[in-house]
Structure 1
Amino acid sequence: MHQYKPVEAASLFIEEFYPQCQGAVLAGSVVRGEATDTSDLDIVIFDNKISASYRESLIQFGWPIDVFIHNLTSYKAYFNSDIERARPSLPSMVAEGIILKDEGIIESIKIEAKKLLNKGPAEWSKETINFKRYFLTDTLDDFIGCKNRAEELFIANHLAELASEFVLRTNRQWIGSSKWIVRALKRYDLKFANRFIDAFDGFYRTGEKENVIKIVEEILVPFGGTLFEGFSLGKK
């Protein structure tokens, strides 16, 4: 049981350690109502006195705290980097964040973050789609042919990552890693996400591959299906 509630602890943290900052927001699972017993506080701080962005983790006021410190221009490079990799970590934190302190800067940065999120990631080129198709096909073939249970488990993990990335990016959706894969799929299409999860869950529980194979092949159909013959990479 925490002595302080999330916003209270975060506010106390700002008052004690970053009292001169121009703005701060509390983000993460505690803001989204998804906190667990091991959740921490994600705090983004804007301070025009620092020369370079940095991150640190510590425990204060009974909470594990991840702090992301930026000056009033450095955050833009992180915004751009996150958008390029289609994993908008910092823009999402800023957009969803509860304001802890604001000296007139937070609202404009929030608007900037929300515009980037609403725009979505860049569309994949035909060349990128074919590149991803080939490696998704290759992993699917490994999964189908593998008879070693230990190897199957890790091939399935990789297949789930590649397949989720493919369906999300070809539909101009943001991607994620770990738990964020599931959340991204559910944001895109809840019905499809549940099918995807059920297919892999069924494999992990029973070893049955059919539903996994079916859903991965379906993902590839609109783009020409599986790809092996004719694929070339780096040929002069």
Structure 2
Amino acid sequence: MSYVDLSNRFVSDHFPGAAIAVIGGSTARGTRTATSDIDLLLVGEALFADERSSLAGSYAFDGEIFEVFAYTPEAFDEWNRRDIEQHRPVLLHMLLEGAEVRGGRELAELRAHWRDVLGNGPSASAQELAARRYVITDLLDDLRDASDPLERHAIAFTLFERAAELLLLSNQRWLGTGKYLPRRLREWDAARADALATPLLRGDLAAFADRVDRELHSAGGRVQAGFIR
């Protein structure tokens, strides 16, 4: 049985009121591993028997674990607006890139409504970008000054996240969390992603700091004295 068929049975059993169901994540991409679950986005007016408007939960069904993200249409719009403000439209990526389980015309219309929003990319203000450069400037100084090995590595991995986010936002690309951050960075520019990551992965933190410094310069340079947050 295909994952679409399995997911349709799960929805029929647990969320029969779902008008739209979309498989996301590694199952949709065809890159599942031994520990992969099935990410499932659900939207519908009659999803819930109580007064709730959204739900995120894990369910065991027919030997698989389903990670469910369920919303009424109004709640789906609200959560998307929040995600867009934070530059991390996780639900929209699931909606537009996932595999249809059910939805038909209603799903097609919802995808059409949000496609341009995702395609246009995020719009970070000059103040936000400056604030991010300020944080990176401080982390760079901390990394170069630190002598404790554990502290240096902790700072370095935080610095990678902040630098990657600055690169993406400066180029109007959406952010990601966890494993999705390096994926978003590679989707944007694989060569720049590797140049940033390689010295960090080989443990050359001095070279990593130099690379971050170059990327910071390309994004406008250091921000420190005189900056008002």
For structure 1, the 5+ residue unaligned runs are none
User: Any idea what the Cα deviations from partners look like across 1:93-150, whole Å, max 9, x if unmatched?
Assistant: 011121112264111111123222101111x222222221111010011101111001
Letter in 1 for 2:217: V
Whether the 8 Å CA contact 1:92–1:113 is kept in 2: the answer is: no
Give the whole-Å Cα distance in 2 for the aligned partners of 1:21 and 1:176.
27
Letter in 2 for 1:111: A
Q: How much does 1:34 deviate?
A: 2.2
Whether the 8 Å CA contact 2:17–2:45 is kept in 1: the answer is: no
Give the whole-Å Cα distance in 2 for the aligned partners of 1:40 and 1:163.
30
Give the whole-Å Cα distance in 1 for the aligned partners of 2:85 and 2:6.
33
Whether the 8 Å CA contact 2:17–2:44 is kept in 1: the answer is: yes
Give the whole-Å Cα distance in 2 for the aligned partners of 1:194 and 1:224.
21
Whether the 8 Å CA contact 2:143–2:156 is kept in 1: the answer is: yes
Corresponding residue number in structure 1 for 2:5:
8
Query: Percent identity between the aligned chains?
Result: 27
Distance 1:129 1:101, change over 3 A: closer
Distance 1:231 1:23, change over 3 A: closer
The TM-score normalised by the length of structure 1 is 0.89
Whether the 8 Å CA contact 2:96–2:111 is kept in 1: the answer is: yes
Whether the 8 Å CA contact 2:185–2:193 is kept in 1: the answer is: yes
Whether the 8 Å CA contact 1:24–1:99 is kept in 2: the answer is: yes
Q: How much does 1:228 deviate?
A: 2.2
SS in 2 for 1:25: strand
Corresponding residue number in structure 1 for 2:127:
127
Give the whole-Å Cα distance in 1 for the aligned partners of 2:220 and 2:16.
57
Corresponding residue number in structure 1 for 2:199:
199
Q: Number of paired residues? A: 225
Corresponding residue number in structure 2 for 1:152:
152
Corresponding residue number in structure 1 for 2:166:
166
Q: How much does 1:39 deviate?
A: 0.9
Moved over 3 A (4+): none
The TM-score normalised by the length of structure 2 is 0.92
Whether the 8 Å CA contact 1:199–1:211 is kept in 2: the answer is: yes
Alignment of 1:39-50 (within 5 A): 39-49=36-46, 50=48
Give the whole-Å Cα distance in 2 for the aligned partners of 1:125 and 1:221.
18
Q: How much does 1:90 deviate?
A: 0.3
Corresponding residue number in structure 1 for 2:116:
115
Give the whole-Å Cα distance in 2 for the aligned partners of 1:154 and 1:76.
36
Q: How much does 1:23 deviate?
A: 2.0
Whether the 8 Å CA contact 1:22–1:103 is kept in 2: the answer is: no
Corresponding residue number in structure 2 for 1:213:
209
Q: RMSD of aligned C-alpha atoms?
A: 1.6
Corresponding residue number in structure 2 for 1:181:
181
